[in-house]
Amino acid sequence: MTVLQIREIMDRIPHRYPFLLVDRVVELVPQQRVVAIKNVTMNEPFFQGHFPGAPVMPGVLIVEALAQAGAVLLLCDIPDRASKLVYFTGIDQARFRRPVVPGDQIRMTVEVMKLRARSCKMRATAEVDGELVAEAEIMSALVER
């Protein structure tokens, strides 16, 4: 089992502030599963407009965080990963169960359902305090930079 801190995550995926949505990886089993953490704070730039006085993390950003965790998983054991990108190509069965607000810590679990040389389908869930907040099936493609 592998644990990754923020610098190691940034070595694996190209996302940067304000769009890097994975803070830590607490479990990583190559080609199988990743468990990652996103700490949600009031300092997130999207809370300025979503929604003033009642901040809620946009569902599309929760899905993006799940997709980024999946990208970390897909790129973890590729030797030439600096020359690759993971594109988010599709989403099925997305459901949002409750709002995510400042102070929440999202625990994201992404598991490989089907893996091919250049594409992958993953099952992703997001939980806060053990309660399901979002889930989806995510499709991605591995491409040259």
Smallest CA-to-CA distance from 75 within 123, 136, 19, 25 is with: 25
Residue 44 · residue 102 · CB < 8 Å: yes
Catalytic residue, candidates 24, 50, 97, 121:
50
Q: Which residues of 5-14 are buried (b: 16+ CB within 10 A; e: fewer)?
A: eeeebeebbe
50 in active site: yes
| Tally of CB atoms within 10 A around 49 | 9
User: 121 and 137 in contact (C-beta within 8 Å)?
Assistant: yes
Active site residues: 50
